[in-house]
Each structure stands twice: as C-alpha cells, then as structure tokens.
Chain A
Amino acid sequence: QSALTQPPSASGSPGQSVTISCTGTSSDVGGYNYVSWYQQHPGKAPKLMIYEVSKRPSGVPDRFSGSKSGNTASLTVSGLQAEDEADYYCSSYAGSNNFGVFGTGTKVTVL
C-alpha cells in the first residue's frame, strides 16, 4: 500500500488561506468517506483536526475544513495564524486487506 501523495510544502501570510491536497486512489481516498487530517508541531504528537472527510472534533477551530473530490481530499486552513505553522498529514481507510494509509506530509509555513 503506497502512501497518499501530499505536496511537501505550502505557505501563506497571516489571515490568508492555504489548501493542502491529498491524492490517493479509488481503493482508498476515492473509495471511502474515511479521510482524516492531523496537525503535528515539532517534537509533539499528531493532533486530529478533521475526520470522516469534513467533521471537526470538539475544540478544533472552524478555520479548519475538509473536503473530497474523487481520489483527492483537501484540507483548507482559513485565516492563517502563526500557530498553524506545522506539518499536516492526511490518512485514509484502504479496505479490509490494506486497512489504512497515511499521506507523505505537508509542511505549512506562515510567512
């Protein structure tokens, strides 16, 4: 099972929006509405930001939103803030044989 493809980096100025893509196949991202997104600051554990494509856990700001079209999922961070600078990983269920897979990760820089 190959990792989902994410751009290595993305950036934006404070207050702007940044969108990160996560591309898989019809066997994972395209086949199920089970895409999740994680934020990871240096030296810290990942934090769940989005699950089931577009749902936000309690406590996650509504500046974070998720969507999916075909085999590509996206995470949008609106109104960028300095604390949003981190690595972001997507993940998707990939069926009962392969189970699940993470993305390659994207480093978001707030300019």
Chain B
Amino acid sequence: QVQLQESGPGLVKPSETLSLTCAVSGYSISSGYYWGWIRQPPGKGLEWIGSIYHSGSTYYNPSLKSRVTISVDTSKNQFSLKLSSVTAADTAVYYCARFTMPQYYFDYWGQGTLVTVSS
C-alpha cells in the first residue's frame, strides 16, 4: 500500500521560505509516476502547486512558478517543496500525492499538513 507523509514547520514568517518534505513508503519513487503538491486554504478549494518525475523533470502551476521549487531525493524515497516569499495568502493545508501523467489524476494522498504564515 502506497503511503505518503508530509513534514515541515507549521508556522512560517511572511517573506520567508516554506519548506515541506513528503516521505513515500510502499512504493519506490524511482519506479516511476509523478509526485506532486496540492494546497487548500482554510475553507477553500484545491490548488495544484506542481509535480516532479523521479528523473527530476518538473511542472509548476504558472501562477506560482516564480516562487516554487520541487525536488526529489530517490535515495531517501522522498520529495520536497520550497515556496519562497510567502504571504498570508499562502496559509493552507499542503498535501503531497502520487500523480499520473498525462491523465492528470492523484491516486494516493498524504494526510496533509497545515502551514500558517504569520509573524
């Protein structure tokens, strides 16, 4: 059974960089599939942030592209998200998920982690 678990600080100061890691178990990232990040502001809908292949190829939401970096560490079977210059608008539950391309669907999700941007 594929399992994903997000980890990282729950509180980030404005203008700083949000950093999260997603540990994958039950499946080797090197075996294939894309891996992605999605976020959900409190009480609002879902927003795709970006995705990465095990080779390192990345796809980012055009509206966030200038601030987002997604990387993969196959030796640790995990991938990471960095979002720079955060503001209160970046406060959200951040999910990591396994992603199928080009069919564009997420079949396994982490439980999510709330990140609050506040001084």
A interface residues with partner B (beta carbon < 8 Å): 1, 3, 34, 36, 38, 44-48, 51-52, 57, 89, 91-93, 97-105
Interface size class of B (residues with CB under 8 A): 20 to 34
Are the C-beta atoms of B103 and A93 separated by less than 8 Å? yes
Residue of A46, A92, A93, A105 touching B106 (CB-CB under 8 A): A46
B105 partner residues in chain A, CB cutoff 8 A: 34, 36, 48, 51-52, 91
Which chain A residue lies CB-closest to B93? A45
Are the C-beta atoms of B46 and A102 separated by less than 8 Å? yes
Are the C-beta atoms of A36 and B46 separated by less than 8 Å? no
CA distance A16 to B23 in the complex (A): 41
Are the C-beta atoms of B45 and A89 separated by less than 8 Å? yes
Sample 11 A-B pairs with CB under 8 A, ordered by A number: A3-B45, A34-B104, A45-B109, A45-B110, A48-B107, A51-B103, A51-B107, A52-B105, A91-B105, A99-B104, A102-B48
